[in-house]
Structure 1
C-alpha cells in the first residue's frame, strides 16, 4: 500500500529515507519496518566502499615523524606563519562555538610546525 508518491531510495509507505542497499536480500525501512525488494531504489547501480583512517601510534606520538617541509596535516593554504614567516600552512576546522557562529580554523606551519587559530 503506497501512501507516498516516493522517489527511489525513500520508503513508499512512510516516506523515510531507506537504509543503504545490501548486496543480497531485501531492504527494511528503519521507521515503519516494512520490507521491500531492491527495486525500490530504482534502476541505479549502487557500488561504494567505506574507507576508514588507519591508526598508527608511532605517527600519532611522534616516534616515526620526519622533518620534511612537505608533510602536511591537512589541506595547504598560502598563509604567512607569524613565527617563522613561511608562506604555507595546513589547516583544520572545528565548530567549537554555538551553531549560529563561525567555525574555528587551526593552522599549522609546514616549516616550523607552529600552530595558531582563527575564529571565522
Structure 2
C-alpha cells in the first residue's frame, strides 16, 4: 500500500500522515494505525536512541554550604529549603516558613503523609492528610 509521502518524518513516524508508529511489528512490517501505511521492520535496524541525564551540580550545593558556615549575611534561609515552602508556624521556634514533602506511605486509597521541616531550626513534623 504505497501512498504519496506528505511528510518527511523519521522512521518512527509515519512518512505518509506523520502519526507515531506502533512499536509492535506484524509479519515483518509496522503498520500505521491512522492511514495503514506500512514500513518494513528493517528500517528500524539502524536506529539508535541516546539519552543524556543531567544531575544537579555538586559544586552549587558545596558553595551554599560554605557560605552558611562562613555566616554570609546574603544567605537567605529560603535557599536552604529541601523542597517547596509553605507559610506554616514552627511549633518549636515559631519561624513562619517550613519546607514540605508529600509521600504516599499508606495504601493508594488513603491520604498521603506530608513531612514539614522548619527552615530555621530544622525541626521536623508530619501530618496525615
Specify the TM-score bucket, using the shorter chain as the normaliser. Answer: 0.5 to 0.7
Name segments (4+ residues, structure 1) moved above 6 Å.
none
**Equivalent residue for 1:66, pick from 41, 50, 68:** 68
Greater percentage in helix: 2
Structure 2 match to 1:111: 120
Q: What do the CA deviations read for 1:31-79 (whole angstroms, capped 9, x no partner)?
A: x24665xxx9xxxxxxxx75444568x86xxx86836522111000000
2:90 to 72, 81, 90: 81
C-alpha distance in structure 2 between counterparts of 1:52 and 1:33, whole Å = 36
Distance 2:102 2:109 in 1: 15
- Count of aligned residue pairs for this structure pair: 83
1:1-40 matches, cutoff 5 A: 8-9=19-20, 11=22, 29=23, 32-33=24-25
The unaligned stretches of length 5 or more in structure 1 are: 2-6, 12-28, 41-48
CA distance, structure 1, for counterparts of residue 21 and residue 118 of structure 2:
46
**1:117 Cα deviation from its structure 2 partner:** 0.4
Q: Mark the runs of 5 or more structure 2 residues left unpaired by the alignment.
A: 2-17, 35-51, 70-74
CA 1:98–1:72: 2 relative to 1, 3 Å: same
Q: TM-score, normalised by structure 1?
A: 0.52
